[in-house]
């Protein structure tokens, strides 16, 4: 009982000590300040969270966290190597220049193309590449290079345009020629050949050619003299008179034949 009194007396003496009173007052003021600023509530919440994590930390979770920590240690040790640091510096430099963004966009485009490429599209692209390869082989031919040079020369001289115009005209004429027109031209050509190949007409043509040839030779050997006197002398020649009469008859018969043909049409 006396010991309890002594302890109470000692506690009363300590509490009545001015230094103790100042310390308690400062502590109360500090706690009041912490409570007013919300730090005390945050502290209590953190203590509760730590208690919750401590209570929920089972053996399985501890082992899992240990494994994760081991993996993180390995990653940290690998990241601390000089090669990784140099790679990180290069990657940082690429990111600073903006090329990393371009690289990501390029990979996205490649990924999109790979994902959208179907079997049918691949076969079509392969066929196109085969055709392009054939064209490249043809383009490597020296004769093709010479042809391209000649084509360039035609274009420079303006003849290529004329050639294109002629081809358009030929195409138009080819399209315009119908079967009936072809048959009509063929019949006309056949009739003309038949008429020309007649024996009497062939003899007339030969005689005309021989007559013209003889006349040219005589004109070269004895050139005719100009003047009225020479013309009258020529007109006295019986052969000339008969020739003029023959030409007059030919003109008369020509008129009758032409008028008859015109009336039949």
Q: What is the mean pLDDT of residues 202-209?
A: 79
Rounded Cα distance between 72 and 83, Å, is 18
pLDDT of residue 79: 66
- pLDDT band, very low/low/confident/very high, at 176 (cuts 50, 70, 90): low
Over residues 187-201, mean pLDDT: 70
User: What does pLDDT average to over the chain?
Assistant: 76
pLDDT at 142: 75
**Residues above pLDDT 70, as percent of the chain:** 84
- Residue 150: its pLDDT value, please? 81
DSSP alpha helices (H): ranges in the chain? 2-15, 18-37, 39-56, 59-79, 82-97, 99-116, 119-139, 142-157, 159-176, 179-196, 199-221, 228-235, 238-264
172 token code pair: 């138009």
Residue identified by tokens 């008179």 is: 241
Kindly list the distances between the CA atom of residue 237 and the CA atoms of 216, 219, 229, 240, in Å, as whole numbers in the listed order. 19, 16, 13, 5
Decide which of 218 and 20 is more confident. 218
Domain range list for the chain: 227-265
* pLDDT bucket at 223, cuts 50 / 70 / 90: confident
Q: What is the pLDDT of residues 95-114, one digit of tens each?
A: 788 777 887 888 887 777 77
| Model confidence band, residue 230 (pLDDT cutoffs 50, 70, 90) | confident
Residue 194 pLDDT > 80, yes or no? Answer: no
């Amino acid at each position: 009982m006396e010991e309890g009194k002594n302890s109470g007396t000692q506690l009363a003496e300590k509490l009545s000590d001015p230094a103790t009173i100042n310390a308690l007052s400062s502590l109360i003021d500090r706690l009041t300040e912490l409570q007013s600023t919300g730090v005390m509530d945050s502290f209590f919440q953190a203590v509760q969270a730590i208690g919750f994590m401590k209570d929920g930390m089972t053996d399985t979770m501890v082992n899992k966290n240990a494994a994760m920590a081991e993996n993180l240690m390995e990653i940290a040790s690998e990241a601390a190597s000089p090669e990784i640091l140099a790679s990180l510096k290069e990657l940082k430099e690429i990111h600073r220049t903006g090329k990393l963004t371009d690289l990501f966009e390029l990979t996205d485009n490649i990924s999109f193309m790979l994902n959208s490429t179907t079997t049918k599209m691949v076969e079509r692209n392969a066929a196109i590449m085969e055709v392009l390869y054939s064209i490249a082989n043809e383009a490597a031919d020296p004769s093709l290079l010479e042809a391209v040079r000649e084509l360039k020369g035609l274009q420079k001289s303006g003849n290529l345009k004329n050639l294109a115009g002629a081809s358009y005209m030929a195409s138009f004429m080819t399209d315009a020629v119908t079967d009936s027109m072809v048959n009509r031209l063929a019949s006309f050509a056949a009739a003309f050949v038949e008429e020309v190949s007649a024996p009497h007409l062939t003899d007339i043509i030969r005689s005309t050619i021989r007559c013209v040839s003889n006349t040219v030779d005589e004109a070269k050997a004895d050139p005719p003299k100009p003047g009225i006197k020479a013309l009258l002398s020529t007109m006295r020649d019986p052969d000339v008179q008969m020739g003029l009469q023959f030409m007059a008859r030919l003109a008369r018969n020509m008129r009758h034949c032409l008028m008859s043909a015109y009336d039949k049409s």
